[in-house]
Structure 1
Amino acid sequence: MQICKTPADLKVLNAQNIGFVPTMGALHAGHLSLIERAKAENAFVVVSIFVNPTQFGMNEDFSQYPRPLEKDLDLCAKAGVNAVFTPQVQTLYPFKEAISLNPPKDLLGFEADLRPGHFSGVLQVVLKLFNLVRPTKAYFGQKDAQQLLILQRMANDLFLPVEVIACPTLRDSDGLALSSRNTYLSPEQRELALKIPKALNTIKEAYETGITQGTNLLALGQEVLSPLEVQYLALVNRQLQPLERVEPNNSLILTAIKVGTTRLLDNLWL
């Protein structure tokens, strides 16, 4: 496995049909599932590990975000990754003020409202990584649904020669969606966090019995989530527009929940 620290290191790879998995490190089974998908569909797999400062707000956890680089590199090697890109901040942001990108207004709300500037930072770094790695396909988890939809729009809108692939959310044995931020949870907080998948399963089961009205489904979810701090729980289509009723194969239940000081995202694709 090659470790690339600079754009020049990437250029000497001389690989075609690259499958790319961008990460911020602290790798878990969810990331490994993206790597496995990339390996199955591409001749060469590149993983990036970079904690991107431009997508963190003033009072967010940039400095505390876990950075177990040696462990991550070991996981990548065992997973059969061909190359890992581990740039420094000054490598990806060489100028005092970087050129910025903004997501389309029709895909805003939710995370964009709660984390101003977050998606501009995501678009900024992912476009830089796409331009450096030049992948054929890039793999992102469905857990960060709004991010996924915005990145797919960017690739289509800017005519980028990369296909943004959506991969299913992986869950721990207790049902909690895998996330690097799960490590922040105490055992008691993790037990509370299990209300999130339980609420989504309750909504799914109700939908499968024939309930399609959004207010009814969301009320069931809210009941399960009490007394957690629900930052949002919404029914939208896959263009992030609010829905009154579920549209089969075009709907999402989006939610963000605070458990203690930790924000957890999850969703249900319907």
Structure 2
Amino acid sequence: DLKKLRERGASAVFAPTPGDMYPHGSPGGTVVVPHFVQGRSEASCRPEHFTGVATVCLKLFNLCDPHVAIFGQKDAMQCVVIARMLEDLMLDERMSLVIAGTSREADGLARSSRNRYLTEGMRQKAPAIYRALLDSVQAAGATPLSVRSTVHQMLEREGMEVSYISVADARGMAEKPDSAELQNSIVSIACILKDNGVVSRLLDCILVPGTGE
């Protein structure tokens, strides 16, 4: 990361240690709990994770007082949690949140540090995740129900284990009813790939904008 930042002309990097961020131990006596995502998609798989995300990000924002914070869209729920925290705690008046589009390989696989753990066999199968998301939302007459069903079927045929496939409201990550409109949705997924004893978990998502967006 430091090498890439240097190549891009960064003049300074703030890189606190765990001891700096948690002088009394993690998570500390005071935390930020994003109740609105509890039990939903990624938060259902990692119940305490987004409390940690919100808490450490608030600490970093207080320490750095940034004008802009940039997060990647691939981690959809993380983006929604940070956006809601800035709004609820009235930090959005002093800083802006930018959601950067997901960077992808030529075959559509979302770039991630987790990809280094993929075996050759996993790497060959992994692009099917993005294809399944695209095919399901672009199908004629697609609904949340058809998207969930199509993605499950396509990826299970590839031998993947689908932890969840979520079609959710873009603001609060609440699951949309089966027959609802797809507009203004975040379609997100977590898949588990296994190969010769190696296990890897991959995330991806796509946005379905509203009319005219």
Aligned to 2:187: 253
For residue 213 of structure 1, report the CA deviation from its aligned partner: 2.0
Aligned partners of 1:107, 1:76: CA distance in 2, in Å? 35
Residue 186 (structure 1) shift: 0.8
For residue 77 of structure 1, what is the aligned residue in structure 2? 6
Deviations 1:81-115 (A, max 9, x none): 22111211101111136121111235641121111
Rounded to whole Å, the distance in 1 between the matches of 2:182 and 2:144 is 10
Code of the residue aligned with 2:110 in structure 1: it is A
SS at match of 1:147: helix
8 Å CA contact retained: 1:254, 1:267:
yes
Alignment partner of 1:220 out of 124, 128, 150 = 150
1:178-217 equivalences under 5 Å are 178-206=111-139, 209=140, 211-217=141-147
Does structure 2 conserve the Cα–Cα contact (< 8 Å) formed by 1:107 and 1:146? no
TM-score by length of 2: 0.86
Paired residue total: 195
Q: Deviations over 1:209-230 (max 9, x none)?
A: 3x13221222221221012100
Q: 1:150 to 1:246 in 2, by over 3 A?
A: same
* Stretches of structure 2 lacking an aligned partner (at least 5 in a row): 209-213
Percent of aligned positions that are identical? 35
Provide the residue aligned with 1:88 in structure 2. 17
Call closer, same or farther: CA 1:149–1:218 in 2, change over 3 Å. same
TM-aligned CA distance change 1:108 to 1:135, over 3 Å: farther
Q: Indicate the SS of the match to 1:201.
A: helix
* Per-residue deviation, 1:143: 0.4
2:55 aligned residue (124, 129, 134): 124
Alignment RMSD, CA only? Answer: 1.5
The equivalences for 1:45-124 within 5 A come to 72-96=1-25, 98=28, 99-106=30-37, 108-124=39-55
TM superposition shift of 1:175: 0.7
State the distance in 2 between where 1:203 and 1:73 align. Answer: 38
**Which residue identity lines up with residue 95 of structure 1 in the other structure?**
H
Equivalent residue letter for 1:218: R
Decide which of 77, 85, 89 is 1:158's aligned counterpart: 89
Question: What SS class does the counterpart of residue 83 from structure 1 fall into?
Answer: coil
For 1:204 and 1:82, locate their aligned partners in 2 and report how far apart those are by CA, in whole Å.
42
Counterpart CA distance in 2 for 1:73 and 1:225 is: 36
Superimposed CA distance per residue, residues 188-207 of structure 1 (whole angstroms, 9 cap, x where no aligned partner): 1111212101101211321x
User: Is the CA contact 1:230–1:258 (under 8 Å) kept in the aligned structure 2?
Assistant: yes
- Structure 1 residues 233 and 198: alpha-carbon distance in aligned structure 2, compared to 1, 3 A threshold: same
Report the counterpart of residue 169 of structure 1 in structure 2: 102
Q: Which residue of 2 aligns with 1:262?
A: 200
> Which runs of no fewer than 5 residues in structure 1 stay unpaired?
1-71
